[in-house]
């Protein structure tokens, strides 16, 4: 039984190592192609990296750059957004996303947001869900250590100090856990997509014969509210809602 478990473990390690080797080779090839300004080959190689399930902010960022060089607005914005999901505070990605958004045709003005909701969303979005989990674990560990120090302290002054610190760090742990759950629930509840079609007429109903609602263009970010057959009901930042064909958008 032990040798079977060992064999399975070795096979898993070899498989993971093989995937990493393939991803590393494809990534190097993609970077070389990008440097040589062969952007189409770079795109294929970066996509090969992602197919190995080795997802990284850098891979999506470089893929977005390659699409940007070919003036492919939708794919460029899509990959920058994917990079931000993994690394929300990456300034290079944020800057390049702004440049790509300037290439869009649609200029949708967002509805005014509740200040409190906006601030909470901003804080929650400053880190990824995994990063909030790590921060929460760190605060919990520090809180436990402070409790141990409080318990074994011999003087009143030290006990008071460790107790106060324990309460403060404990509250920070609770807060980070709450924000992490908020970020996760928001991520699960909200589904966004990028318009890939050069131009598409959104409809009032999920059928081509229905009335036109508005026209959207490549690169516009929309929220997917629901799906029906081959259609998706979307919402723009200005609150406008309509139906578009699923193949005209790509979900983030």
Average pLDDT, the chain: 84
Q: Calculate mean pLDDT across residues 67-89.
A: 93
Q: Which residues pair with 203 in a beta bridge?
A: 212, 243
Which distant-in-sequence residues (6+ apart) come within 8 Å of 50 by Cβ?
Answer: 59, 60, 63
Q: Reply yes or no on whether the pLDDT at 9 is more than 50.
A: no
Which residue shows structure tokens 């200040």?
115
> Is pLDDT larger for residue 118 or for residue 45?
45
Q: Does residue 106 form part of some domain? A: no
- In our burial notation (b when 16+ CB lie closer than 10 A, e otherwise), range 162-178 reads bbebbeebbebbeebbe
Number of structural domains (the chain) is: 3
The reply to whether 15 falls in a domain is yes
In this predicted structure, which of 48-57, 70-79, 95-104, 232-241 has the lowest mean pLDDT?
Answer: 48-57
Q: Which CATH number is 245's domain given? A: 2.30.30.40
Q: Is 140 exposed, middle or buried (0-12, 13-18, 19+ CB in 10 A)?
A: middle
Final residue of a structural domain among 159, 189, 219? 189
User: Could you tell me the two tokens for 216?
Assistant: 């959207």
Averaged pLDDT, 135-152: 92
Partner residues linked to 242 by β-bridges: 234
Question: Mind listing the pLDDT tens digit for each residue in 167-203?
Answer: 999 999 999 998 888 887 776 677 899 999 899 999 9
Listed residue (74, 61, 55) closest to 34, CA to CA: 61
Question: Which single residue is written with the structure tokens 């390659």?
Answer: 66
Q: Which sign does the torsion angle of CA 52, 49, 102, 126 carry? A: positive
Residue 107 in domain: no
Residue 38 lies in a domain: yes
- Structural domain that includes position 27: 2-101
Note whether 67 and 15 are same-domain residues. yes
* 112: three-class secondary structure by DSSP: coil
Q: Are 85 and 160 within one domain?
A: no
> What percent of the chain clears pLDDT 70, i.e. is strictly above it?
85
Angle between the N-to-C axes of helices 2-35 and 57-69, in degrees from 0 to 180, rounded to the nearest 10: 30
Q: Give the per-residue pLDDT at 127.
A: 80
| Domain assignment of residue 17, yes or no | yes
Which of 122-131, 143-152, 172-181, 229-238 has the lowest average pLDDT? 122-131
Q: How confident is the model at residue 1 (pLDDT cuts 50, 70, 90)?
A: very low
Neighbours of 190 (CB within 10 A): 11
Domain-located, residue 119: yes
Query: What is the value of pTM for the model shown?
Result: 0.66
Mean pLDDT of 238-246: 92
């Amino acid at each position: 039984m032990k040798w079977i478990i060992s064999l399975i473990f070795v096979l898993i390690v070899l498989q993971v190592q093989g995937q990493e080797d393939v991803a590393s080779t494809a990534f190097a090839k993609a970077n070389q192609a990008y440097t040589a300004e062969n952007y189409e080959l770079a795109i294929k190689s970066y996509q090969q990296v992602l197919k190995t399930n080795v997802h990284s902010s850098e891979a999506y960022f470089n893929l977005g750059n390659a699409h940007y060089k070919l003036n492919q607005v939708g794919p460029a914005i899509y990959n920058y957004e994917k990079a931000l999901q993994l690394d929300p505070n990456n300034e290079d990605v944020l800057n390049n996303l702004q440049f790509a958004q300037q290439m869009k045709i649609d200029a949708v003005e967002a509805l005014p947001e509740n200040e409190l909701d906006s601030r909470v969303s901003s804080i929650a979005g400053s880190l990824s869900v995994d990063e909030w989990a790590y921060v929460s674990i760190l605060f919990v560990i520090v809180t436990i250590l402070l409790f141990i120090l409080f318990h074994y302290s011999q003087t009143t002054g030290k006990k008071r100090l460790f107790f106060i610190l324990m309460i403060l760090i404990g509250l920070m742990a609770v807060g980070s856990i709450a924000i992490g759950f908020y970020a996760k629930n928001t991520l699960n509840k909200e589904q966004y997509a990028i318009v890939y079609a050069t131009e598409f007429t959104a409809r009032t109903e999920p059928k081509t014969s229905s009335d036109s609602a508005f026209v959207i263009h490549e690169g516009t970010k929309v929220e997917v509210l629901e799906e029906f057959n081959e259609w998706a009901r979307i919402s723009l930042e200005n609150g406008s809602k309509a139906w578009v064909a699923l193949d005209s958008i790509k979900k983030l």
